[in-house]
C-alpha cells in the first residue's frame, strides 16, 4: 500500500461550551492535525500545557508514577469499535498517538465561573487538599471511576489510586471524601455528600448548552474523520517520521520503506516510565489501531493479541476463568496483573510492550514475563507478512526482534489437578529437584531450601533490593506458597503463614472540639483555596502563562563524587563551579535553551573529564566503624558527665547496648524545585517555589551583585515543601536569575525529578550507639549516647545543639549523656525534612525503650511510664488513651493470637511524644480594609505550602474584626511584606502570622473606635465608609518578633499492626492521637505521620558498596523512579507508594532478634518446617 506524504497543516479543535469561558479540551488528531513545529516526541502533557495552554494538568515524575498528569480519555476500540474510557498518564502518551481521542482535562469538570463538579466540592469539603499539586490528578481519577457504569465500591476506589501520589495528606482525607461517592458507602457518610447518581445528573453537554443525554459519540463531533480513521497516516516532521498503521501488513510495508532507520513501535509508550530512551528513533510506527493485535479469543486456545492492554487482559481473564475450568488459573494471573504498575498505566500499557521492554532490558523485572513463562505460554511472532515463528518466553529473550512483531500470546489449558499460585521466583534447578517428589515432606522442604540457597544468585543492579534480601525473600515466598498449598496438612499454628495479608478499605474517625462562640476562629471549614485546587485553577510557579521570548534552563551535574574537573565538552553557557567536586550530582553549569526538553537533553549530553577520581565516602556506618576523624567531628557532650570507665552505678541490674539507624529520606515534593525570573525596568521579578522569600532575594542579590531592592520575589503557593524549599530553592532561583540577568530574557527552571533527587539533598541518615543501665523494672539509671548524623558535603545544617534537647523526649534525663557528631560524606548536603531531628531523636529513644522492655521482660508501656516524671501531663493522656482504646484487653488478645500462630503476628504499641516549639524570627502582616464595600485583604510573610496558613490567617482576621469570613481574602506573599523575614518552617509560621494579623486588626479597631462612637449601631460597611470620609488610615502593618516563651505540645499515640514474619506484606490497621494543648491540624498530622511511616517501612536508602556502582547508577541506569526510585549512591525501595500498594516487610532490630535482610529465623535451617496436623 502506498503511503502518501502529506504536508502538515495546523488543525487543532477545541469544543468550547457556549455557557462557559472555560472549556473542555477535546483533541481530535488525524493525519493533518498537528503543526509541523510540534516535535515528534511531544507528550500529551506538554501539548496540553504548552500548546493548549491548560495549566490545570500538572507534571512531576514524567514516568507515569505520580499521577499528577492524569487525564480522562475516550476512544474507540480498534477491534470492536466500542467506546472505551479511562484515565491515562499524559506524561507518557505521545500526542501523535491520540488519533481520534477525546481528552478531558480537569478544566472540563468545573470552575469558579460555571460551577464546580460534585467530585471537586466533595474533595474540598473533606479537606482532601493540602499543597494541592496532586489534586487535579486525584479528581480526574475519581471522575473516571464515576463514569464506569454502576460506580465503584470502596475497595475498587482505593485500589484505583495506586498511581496517585500525595505527599501531604497521608491519603485519609482524600479516601474519606471519595468513599462518599462509592456504591457501598455506609449510610452515615453516603448521605453527607453527592452520590454516584448525582454525579451523572450534573454533567453538561460539551457541545450544547443543556444537560447531557450521553447519546453523543465521537463521530458527532468529528464525523468528517470517521471515514478516514483507518487511512494510513504518514507525517513528515523536522526531526522524525510518524506512521499510523491499521494492519499488520502495513507495519511490514513501513519496515520496507524505512530501510535501516532506527524505529520504534508505539502503543501505550509506558516503557518510557521505566527506561528513558537511549537513542531517539527516527521513525515512529503507531500500532495502537491495528485490529489483529487487539484480538481476544478462546478457541482453540485462549489467545490474546500483542496489543491487548493489561486492563483488557485482566477483564478477559476474569470472565474466562469463571466460564472455563481449564482456564480457571487465569484469575490468578489477573490478580497478579493488578500488582503491576497502576491503573492509568494498565489502561494503555500492552502485553507486547511489557515483554519487549524485558527483551531490550533483560534486567527488567517483568512480572508478565514470569507469569507467561510459568504457565507455558507460546509467543507468536510475525517475522514478515507471511511467516509466523513460535517461541517460549525464555526463547523470546534471545530472539532477534528487529523488524518483527509480537503478534499473539497463546495460553495452554490445565485441568483441576494443577494448582497455580504466582510469586516472583524463577529457579530451574529447584524446579527439577521437586519433580517426582512429595513437596509436603520435611526432607523435600529442607532439600529445596538448601538448593535455593545455592542456586539463587541475584545481581545487584540499582535500583534493585540487595541480593541478600532478594534471596531470602524468594526462599520465604516458596515456603509461604507451600504452607498455602498444605492447608490442613500442617498444624493450625503454621497455617496462617500461608495466608496473604489483605487490607480492607481504610477507615478511621477523628474527634475534636470547637467553640462556636469563637467562630469563624477554630471553625472546622475547608481551606479557602480548596476548590480552586480541586479545579486546577490554583496557580503554581510553572503555571504562569508563557512569556514571549522565554527560555528554559537546566543544570549540568557532576557524574563523579570525588575528583577534580579538568574539562567540560561542550562548555556550558554558564559555569557555576570548577575544580574540586564535592558530591555526585553537584550542579556545575547551566544550559539555556528555547524549550525545557531541549535544555534537559543538552545538559545530559555534556561530557565532563575528571582527574584524581577516588572512591567516595558515603556510608555512615563505615565511617563510624573506622573512626575516621577527618570526616566526623568529636561532637559536644550535653547532660550528665558520665565516666565510661566508672563503676556501674548502684541499682543497675541490666546493661543494655545497641544501635539504632534512621535512613535518609527524599522529600518527594510533587512540585520540584522551580523558578521563573522575568527582567523588568526595575530589576528582576522572581517567582520562586520557596519557603524562605527573604533568603532567595538575598542569595540572588549576592550572586549578581545587585541591590536587593531591585529584586521582587513573589510566592502564591508552593506544591509541597517539607523543608526542602527552605534553602534549596536558592539553587533554582539563583540559576534562573543569573541566566535572565545575563540574557535579559525570562528564564524558567523546572528541575526534573532525577535532577531534584541528585542535587538537592535528603533527610540525614542518623546512627545512635547507646549504652543504658536499668533496674529490674526498666528504670534508667544512666544513659550514654553517641549520635552520628550524615550531614553530606557541607555543614550548613548542624543539629549539634538540638539533638541533646530533643533526644530525651518526655522522659526524665538526669543521668543521661548525649554526644552529637556531624559526619561529612561525599553526598549532597543534608536538608531539613518534615520533623527534622525530632523524628530521629524520638524514634531513637523509643527504640531504646522497646529494647529495655525486651531485656527486662516488661510491658513497653510500663517501662515508658516508669521513666516519666510523676507530674508530667503526658501520663494522664496515656491513661486516657489506654482506657479509650481498650489497650489492656487488646494486648491480651494479641498475646493469645501470637501464641497460636507461628508466622502471622499482631502487635500494638503506645508511644508518647513531646514536641517543643520555639517561636523565633520575624513575620510581618499587612491588613487593608476597602471602604467601598468593607472587604479586607491580608498579606503576610509566610508561604502557603499546604498547611492552611491562608485559611487560619483569614479566620483570625474575620474573628478579630467581627466580620464574615467571606469578606477576607489573602494576597500572595512577596519580598516587600516579607523583607528581612524568616522561613516558613518549624510549625510556627501560621501562629506567628496569625499573631501579626491579630495585632494589625487591633490597631485598625482602635482607629475605628472613635468613629464607631459617633454612629448609632453602624454596620461594618457604614463604619468603614465613614472612617474613610474622615481620612482614617484603614491599613495597618505589624511584625511578630522572637518570642522567648516556648510552647510545648504533648501527644500519645497508639498503633495496631498486623504483619507476617515471612517477608511479603505488612499492613497498618489503626492509629490514634490525642493532643493536650491545642486543636490538631488533622491533615498535617496524618500526612506527617505517613511520611514517618514511609521512612521506617518504604524509603530506606542503601548505598552501594563501591564507587563504580555509584557512578554507573548515574550513567547507565534508568532514571530515579516513583515506583522504585533511586539516586546515585542510594537505593530507595518503593518510595512513597499510595495506600493501595502492597508493602515489603523489612526492619532492623538486631537487639530484639530481628535482622534487616532475611532474618535468621527464616533461613532454611531455622524455622522452615512442615509439622503435620
Write a three-state SS string for 1031-1061: CCCCEEEEEECCCCCEEEEEEEEEEEEEEEC
Phi/psi for 805 (5° steps) reads -80, -40
pLDDT computed for residue 23 by the predictor: 29
**Protein fold of 295-411:** 3.30.465
pLDDT digits (tens, 9 = 90+) for 172-187: 889 999 999 999 988 7
H/E run at residue 317: helix 310-323
294-327 exposure pattern, b = at least 16 Cβ within 10 A, e = fewer: bbbeeeeebbbbbbbbbbbbbebbeebbeeeebb
| Most confident segment among 209-218, 546-555, 657-666 | 546-555
What CA–CA distance (Å, rounded) separates 744 from 140? 39
Question: At residue 189, does pLDDT exceed 80?
Answer: no
C-alpha torsion 560→564→567→570, nearest 10: 40
What is the pLDDT, as a whole number, of residue 720? 94
What is the per-residue pLDDT across 420-450, written as a single tens digit (0 to 9) for each? 988 877 888 998 999 999 999 999 999 999 9
Distance from C-alpha of 146 to C-alpha of 123, rounded to nearest angstrom: 14
- The rounded mean pLDDT for the chain is 83
Read off the pLDDT band of 16 (50, 70, 90).
Answer: very low
Please state which CATH number belongs to domain 44-226.
Answer: 1.10.150.120
Cα–Cα distance measured from residue 675 to residue 590, given in angstroms and rounded to the nearest whole number: 14
Summarize the confidence of residues 1011-1027 as an average pLDDT. 97
Q: Which helix (H) or strand (E) holds 928?
A: strand 923-929
Taking residues 397-401, what's their average pLDDT?
96
The model's confidence at residue 513, banded by pLDDT at 50, 70 and 90, is confident
Q: Is the peptide bond before 463 cis (omega within 30 degrees of 0)?
A: yes
| Cβ atoms 723, 706 nearer than 8 A | no
State residue 1056's pLDDT score. 53
Alpha helices by DSSP H, listed for 324-400, are 330-337, 343-348, 351-360, 367-375, 393-397
Residue-wise pLDDT for 614-637, tens only, equals 999 998 988 998 876 667 664 554
Is the pLDDT at 8 greater than 90, yes or no? no
Percent share of the chain, pLDDT over 90: 61
Q: Is 881 annotated as a binding residue?
A: no
List 204's β-bridge partners, or say none. 211
Helices (H), 744-873: 753-759, 803-806, 838-856, 860-866
Check whether 595 has a pLDDT greater than 90.
yes
Residue 1118 has pLDDT above 60, yes or no: no
Most confident range (mean pLDDT) of 227-236, 369-378, 642-651 is 369-378
Say whether 30 counts as a known binding-site residue: no
pLDDT of residue 521: 82
**pLDDT tens digits for 702-717?**
999 999 999 999 999 9
Please give the residue that has the higher pLDDT: either 1159 or 172: 172
pLDDT at 1108: 32
| Mean of pLDDT values over 23-31 | 34
**Which among 1022, 1061, 1054, 788 has a CA at the least distance from the CA of 913?**
1054
Is the pLDDT at 467 greater than 80? The verdict is: yes
Quick check: 329 pLDDT over 80? yes
The number of beta carbons lying within 10 Å of the beta carbon of residue 876 is 12
Q: What does the longest C-alpha to C-alpha distance in the chain come to?
A: 103
CATH 3.30.365.10 fits 619-668+760-869, yes or no: yes
Least confident of 60-64, 258-262, 522-526, 841-845: 522-526
Dist. CA 714–CA 680, nearest whole Å: 14
**Which tens digit of pLDDT belongs to each residue from 104-126?**
999 999 999 989 999 999 999 99
Counting Cβ atoms within 10 Å, is residue 845 exposed (0-12), middle (13-18) or buried (19+)?
Answer: buried
In sign, the C-alpha dihedral spanning 41, 43, 46, 51 is positive
Q: Is residue 853 over pLDDT 90?
A: yes
Is 986 annotated to bind a ligand? Reply is: yes
- The answer to whether 69 is a known ligand-binding residue is yes
Whether 534 has a binding-site annotation, put simply, is: no
On whether the CB atoms of residues 766 and 789 are closer than 8 A, the answer is: yes
What does the pLDDT read at residue 647? 62
The answer to whether the CB of 556 falls within 8 A of the CB of 588 is yes
Q: What is the pLDDT of residue 642?
A: 47
SS3 sequence, 679-703? ECCCCEEEEECCCCHHHHHHHHHHH
Contact indicator for 268, 73 with CB cutoff of 8 Å:
no
Mean pLDDT of 1070-1093: 56
**pLDDT attached to residue 194:** 47
d(CA 1125, CA 1131): 7
Nearest to 673 by CA among 658, 692, 657: 692
pLDDT at 28 over 80: no
End-to-end CA distance of the chain: 70
Is residue 328 pLDDT above 60, yes or no?
yes
Q: Which residue has the higher pLDDT, 401 or 470?
A: 401
Give me the pLDDT at residue 515, please: 80
**Chain centroid, CA 978 distance in Å:** 30
Q: 418 burial class (0-12, 13-18, 19+ CB within 10 angstroms)?
A: exposed
Confidence tier at 1149 by pLDDT (50, 70, 90)? very low
As a whole number, mean pLDDT of residues 543-552 equals 96
For the ranges 182-186, 270-274, 1059-1063, 1074-1078, the lowest mean pLDDT is seen at 1074-1078
Regarding predicted confidence, which is higher, 204 or 1012? Answer: 1012
Assigned C-alpha cell, 425: 521466583
Predicted local confidence at residue 277, as pLDDT: 80
CA distance linking residue 386 with residue 479, whole number of Å: 47
Residue 406 counted as an annotated binding residue? yes
Asked if the domains 619-668+760-869 and 673-750 are classified in one and the same CATH topology, the answer is yes
| Residue 810 marked as a ligand binder | no
Q: Is 123 annotated as a binding residue?
A: no
- Confidence (pTM): 0.88
pLDDT given for residue 503 in this prediction:
81
Q: Which backbone phi and psi does 941 adopt, to 5 degrees?
A: -95, 0
Q: Which residue has the higher pLDDT, 1107 or 388?
A: 388
- Give me the mean pLDDT over the 952-959 stretch: 94
- Grid coordinates representing 894 are 494479641
CA angle 1101, 1107, 1109 (to 5 degrees): 65
CA 704 to each of CA 710, 733, 735: distance values in angstroms, whole numbers, following the listed order: 11, 12, 10
Mean pLDDT of 956-963: 96
The grid coordinates of residue 354 equal 511489557
1149 known member of a binding site:
no
Least confident of 467-481, 875-889, 1054-1068, 1121-1135: 1121-1135
pLDDT of residue 136: 98
Q: In what order do the strands lie in the sheet with 83-89?
A: 83-89, 70-76, 102-104
pLDDT of residue 1097: 60
Q: Given this model, what pLDDT does residue 223 score?
A: 39
Read off the C-alpha cell for 48: 496540553
**CATH superfamily of domain region 548-616:** Aldehyde oxidase/xanthine dehydrogenase, a/b hammerhead (3.90.1170.50)
Quick one: pLDDT at residue 155?
93
Q: Report residue 1111's pLDDT band, with 50, 70 and 90 as the boundaries.
A: very low
What was the pLDDT predicted at 781? 96
Is the Cβ–Cβ distance between 157 and 145 less than 8 Å? yes
The domain over range 673-750 is classified in CATH as 3.30.365.10: yes
The answer, yes or no, to whether residue 949 has pLDDT greater than 60, is yes
CATH entry, 920-1044, from 1.25.40.10, 3.30.365.10, 3.40.50.300, 3.30.360.10: 3.30.365.10
pLDDT surpasses 90 at 1006 = yes
- Read off the pLDDT of residues 575-587 as tens digits, 9 standing for 90 and up: 777 789 999 999 9
Query: How many whole angstroms separate alpha carbon 934 and alpha carbon 1028?
Result: 11
- E strand segments, 690-779: 711-715, 747-750, 766-774
Residues 984-1014 as b/e (b if ≥16 CB within 10 A, e otherwise) read bbbbbbbbbbbbbbbbbbebbeebbeebeee
pLDDT at 1093: 72
CA 1154 – CA 851 distance, rounded (Å) = 12
The Cα–Cα gap between 1128 and 756 comes to 12
424 in a labelled binding site: yes
Separation of alpha carbons 518 and 959, rounded Å: 7
List of long-range contacts for 797-802, beta carbons under 8 Å, 24+ apart:
797/764, 797/829, 797/830, 797/831, 797/832, 798/822, 799/764, 799/836, 799/837, 800/635, 800/636, 802/837
d(CA 724, CA 664) in angstroms, rounded, equals 13
pLDDT at 1128: 24
**Is 964 a residue whose pLDDT tops 70?**
yes
pLDDT of residue 649: 82
Is 182 among the annotated ligand-binding positions?
no
Candidates 225, 124, 198; CA nearest to 536 is 124
Return d(Cα 786, Cα 822) in angstroms, integer: 11
Going from N- to C-terminal start, the domains of the chain cover 44-226, 295-411, 426-489+1102-1173, 548-616, 619-668+760-869, 673-750, 920-1044
- Do the beta carbons of residue 1021 and residue 934 sit within 8 Å? yes
> What is the arithmetic mean of pLDDT over 465-485?
88
Cα(43)–Cα(268) distance, rounded to whole angstroms?
Answer: 11
- Three-state SS sequence of 803-821: HHHHCCCCCCCCCEEEEEE
- What is the average per-residue pLDDT within 667-694? 97
Instruction: Write b or e for each residue in 1122-1131: b if 16 or more Cβ atoms lie within 10 A of its Cβ, otherwise e.
Output: bbbbbbbbbb
The pLDDT value recorded for residue 38 is 84
CB 793 within 8 A of CB 693: no
Look-up of cell digits 503557593: 717
Q: What percent of the chain has pLDDT over 70?
A: 81
Amino acid at each position: 500500500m502506498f503511503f502518501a506524504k502529506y504536508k502538515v497543516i495546523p488543525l487543532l479543535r477545541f469544543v468550547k461550551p457556549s455557557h462557559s469561558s472555560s472549556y473542555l479540551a477535546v483533541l481530535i488528531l488525524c493525519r493533518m492535525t498537528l503543526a509541523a513545529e510540534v516535535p515528534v516526541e511531544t507528550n500529551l502533557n506538554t501539548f496540553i500545557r504548552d500548546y493548549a495552554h491548560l495549566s490545570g494538568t500538572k507534571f512531576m515524575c514524567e514516568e507515569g508514577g505520580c499521577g499528577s498528569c492524569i487525564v480522562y480519555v475516550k476512544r474507540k476500540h480498534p477491534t470492536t469499535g466500542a467506546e472505551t474510557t479511562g484515565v491515562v498518564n499524559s506524561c507518557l502518551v505521545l500526542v501523535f498517538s491520540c488519533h481520534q481521542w477525546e481528552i478531558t482535562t480537569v478544566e472540563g469538570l468545573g470552575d469558579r465561573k460555571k460551577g464546580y463538579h460534585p467530585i471537586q466540592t466533595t474533595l474540598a469539603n473533606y479537606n482532601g487538599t493540602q499543597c494541592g499539586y496532586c489534586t487535579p490528578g486525584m479528581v480526574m481519577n475519581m471522575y473516571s471511576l464515576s463514569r464506569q457504569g454502576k460506580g465503584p465500591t470502596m475497595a475498587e476506589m482505593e485500589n484505583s489510586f495506586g498511581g496517585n501520589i500525595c505527599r501531604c495528606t497521608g491519603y485519609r482525607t482524600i479516601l474519606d471524601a471519595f468513599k462518599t461517592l462509592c456504591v457501598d458507602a455506609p449510610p452515615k457518610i453516603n448521605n453527607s455528600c453527592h452520590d454516584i447518581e448525582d454525579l451523572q445528573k450534573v454533567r453538561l453537554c460539551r457541545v450544547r448548552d443543556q444537560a447531557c443525554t450521553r447519546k453523543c459519540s465521537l463521530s458527532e463531533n468529528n464525523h468528517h474523520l470517521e471515514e478516514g480513521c483507518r487511512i494510513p497516516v504518514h507525517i513528515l516532521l523536522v526531526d522524525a517520521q510518524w506512521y499510523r498503521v491499521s494492519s499488520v501488513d502495513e507495519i511490514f510495508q513501513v519496515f520496507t520503506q524505512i530501510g535501516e532507520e532506527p524505529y520504534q513501535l508505539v502503543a501505550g509508550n509506558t516503557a518510557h516510565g521505566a527506561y528513558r530512551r537511549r537513542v531517539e528513533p527516527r521513525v515512529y510506527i503507531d500500532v495502537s489501531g491495528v485490529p489483529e493485535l487487539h484480538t481476544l479469543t478462546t478457541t482453540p486456545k485462549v489467545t490474546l493479541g500483542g496489543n491487548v492492554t493489561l486492563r483488557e487482559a485482566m477483564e478477559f481473564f476474569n470472565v474466562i476463568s469463571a466460564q472455563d475450568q481449564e482456564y480457571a488459573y487465569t484469575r490468578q494471573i489477573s490478580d497478579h496483573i493488578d500488582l503491576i504498575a497502576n491503573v492509568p498505566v494498565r489502561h494503555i500499557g500492552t502485553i507486547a510492550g511489557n515483554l519487549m521492554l524485558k527483551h531490550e532490558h533483560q534486567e527488567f523485572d517483568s512480572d508478565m514475563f514470569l507469569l507467561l513463562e510459568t504457565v507455558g505460554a507460546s509467543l507468536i511472532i510475525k517475522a514478515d507478512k507471511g511467516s509466523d515463528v513460535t517461541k517460549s518466553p525464555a526463547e523470546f529473550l534471545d530472539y532477534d526482534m528487529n523488524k518483527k512483531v509480537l503478534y499473539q500470546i497463546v495460553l495452554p489449558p490445565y485441568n483441576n489437578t494443577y494448582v497455580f499460585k504466582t510469586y516472583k521466583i524463577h529457579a530451574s534447578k529447584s524446579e527439577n529437584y521437586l519433580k517426582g517428589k512429595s513437596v509436603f515432606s520435611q526432607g523435600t522442604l529442607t532439600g529445596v531450601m538448601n538448593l535455593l540457597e545455592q542456586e539463587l544468585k541475584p545481581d545487584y543492579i540499582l535500583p534493585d533490593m540487595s541480593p541478600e534480601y532478594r534471596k531470602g525473600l524468594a526462599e520465604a515466598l516458596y515456603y509461604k506458597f507451600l504452607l498455602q498449598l498444605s492447608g490442613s496438612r500442617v498444624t493450625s499454628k503454621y497455617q496462617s503463614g500461608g495466608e496473604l495479608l489483605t487490607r480492607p478499605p481504610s477507615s478511621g474517625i477523628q474527634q475534636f472540639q470547637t467553640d462556636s462562640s469563637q467562630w469563624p476562629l477554630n471553625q472546622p471549614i475547608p481551606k479557602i483555596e480548596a476548590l480552586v485546587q480541586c479545579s486546577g485553577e490554583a496557580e503554581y510557579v510553572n503555571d504562569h502563562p508563557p512569556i514571549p521570548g522565554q527560555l528554559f534552563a537546566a543544570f549540568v551535574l557532576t557524574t563523579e563524587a570525588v575528583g577534580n574537573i579538568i574539562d567540560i565538552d561542550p562548555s556550558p553557557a554558564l559555569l557555576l563551579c570548577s575544580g574540586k567536586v564535592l558530591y555526585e550530582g553537584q550542579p556545575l553549569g547551566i544550559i539555556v535553551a528555547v524549550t525545557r526538553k531541549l535544555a534537559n537533553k543538552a545538559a545530559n549530553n555534556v561530557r565532563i573529564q575528571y582527574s584524581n577520581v577516588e572512591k567516595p565516602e558515603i556510608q555512615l556506618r563505615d565511617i563510624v566503624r573506622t573512626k575516621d576523624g577527618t570526616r566526623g567531628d568529636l561532637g559536644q557532650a550535653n547532660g550528665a558527665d558520665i565516666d565510661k570507665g566508672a563503676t556501674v552505678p548502684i541499682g543497675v541490674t541490666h546493661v543494655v547496648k545497641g544501635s539504632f539507624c534512621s535512613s535518609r529520606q527524599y522529600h518527594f515534593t510533587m512540585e520540584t524545585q522551580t523558578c521563573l525570573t522575568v527582567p523588568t525596568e526595575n530589576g528582576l521579578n522572581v517567582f520562586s517555589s520557596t519557603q524562605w522569600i527573604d533568603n532567595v532575594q538575598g542569595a540572588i542579590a549576592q550572586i549578581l551583585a545587585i541591590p536587593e531592592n531591585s529584586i521582587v520575589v513573589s510566592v502564591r503557593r508552593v506544591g509541597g515543601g517539607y523543608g526542602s524549599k527552605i534553602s534549596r530553592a536558592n539553587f533554582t532561583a539563583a540559576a534562573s536569575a543569573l541566566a535572565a540577568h545575563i540574557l535579559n530574557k525570562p528564564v524558567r527552571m523546572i528541575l526534573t525529578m532525577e535532577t531534584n533527587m541528585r542535587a538537592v539533598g535528603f533527610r540525614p541518615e542518623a546512627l545512635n550507639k547507646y549504652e543504658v543501665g536499668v533496674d529490674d523494672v526498666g528504670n534508667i539509671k544512666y544513659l550514654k549516647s553517641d549520635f552520628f548524623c550524615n550531614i553530606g558535603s557541607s555543614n550548613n545544617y548542624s543539629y549539634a545543639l538540638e539533638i541533646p534537647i530533643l533526644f530525651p523526649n518526655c522522659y526524665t534525663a538526669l543521668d543521661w549523656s548525649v554526644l552529637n557528631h556531624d559526619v561529612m560524606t561525599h553526598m549532597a548536603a543534608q536538608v531539613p525534612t518534615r520533623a527534622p531531628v525530632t523524628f530521629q531523636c524520638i524514634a531513637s529513644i523509643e527504640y531504646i525503650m522497646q529494647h529495655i522492655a525486651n531485656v527486662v521482660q516488661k510491658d513497653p508501656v510500663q517501662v515508658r511510664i516508669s521513666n516519666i516524671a510523676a507530674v508530667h501531663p503526658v501520663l494522664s493522656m496515656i491513661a486516657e488513651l489506654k482506657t479509650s482504646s481498650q489497650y489492656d484487653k487488646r494486648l491480651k488478645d494479641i498475646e493469645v493470637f501470637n501464641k497460636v500462630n507461628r508466622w502471622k503476628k499482631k502487635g500494638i504499641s503506645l508511644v508518647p511524644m513531646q514536641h517543643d516549639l520555639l517561636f523565633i524570627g520575624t513575620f510581618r502582616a499587612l491588613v487593608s480594609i476597602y471602604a467601598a464595600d468593607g472587604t479586607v485583604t491580608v498579606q503576610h510573610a509566610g508561604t502557603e505550602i499546604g498547611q492552611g496558613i491562608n485559611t487560619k490567617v483569614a479566620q483570625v482576621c474575620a474573628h478579630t474584626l467581627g466580620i464574615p469570613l467571606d469578606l477576607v481574602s489573602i494576597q500572595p506573599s512577596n519580598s516587600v511584606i516579607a523583607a528581612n523575614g524568616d522561613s516558613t518552617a518549624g510549625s510556627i509560621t501560621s501562629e506567628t502570622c496569625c499573631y501579626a494579623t491579630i495585632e494589625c486588626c487591633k490597631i485598625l479597631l482602635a482607629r475605628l473606635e472613635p468613629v464607631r462612637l459617633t454612629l448609632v449601631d453602624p454596620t461594618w460597611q457604614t463604619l468603614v465608609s465613614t472612617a474613610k470620609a474622615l481620612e482614617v488610615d484603614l491599613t495597618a502593618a505589624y511584625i511578630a518578633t522572637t518570642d522567648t516563651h516556648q510552647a510545648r505540645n504533648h501527644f500519645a499515640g497508639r498503633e495496631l499492626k498486623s504483619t507476617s514474619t515471612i517477608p511479603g506484606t505488612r499492613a497498618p490497621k489503626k492509629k490514634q492521637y490525642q493532643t493536650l494543648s491545642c486543636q490538631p491540624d488533622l491533615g498535617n498530622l496524618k500526612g506527617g505521620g505517613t511520611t514517618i511511616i514511609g521512612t521506617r517501612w518504604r524509603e530506606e536508602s542503601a548505598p552501594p558498596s563501591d564507587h563504580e556502582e555509584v557512578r554507573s547508577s548515574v550513567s547507565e541506569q534508568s532514571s530515579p523512579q516513583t515506583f522504585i526510585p533511586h539516586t546515585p549512591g542510594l537505593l530507595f525501595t518503593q518510595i512513597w507508594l499510595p495506600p493501595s500498594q502492597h508493602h515489603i516487610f523489612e526492619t532492623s532490630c538486631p537487639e530484639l532478634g530481628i535482622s534487616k535482610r532475611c532474618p535468621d529465623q527464616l533461613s532454611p535451617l531455622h524455622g522452615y518446617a512442615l509439622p503435620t496436623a
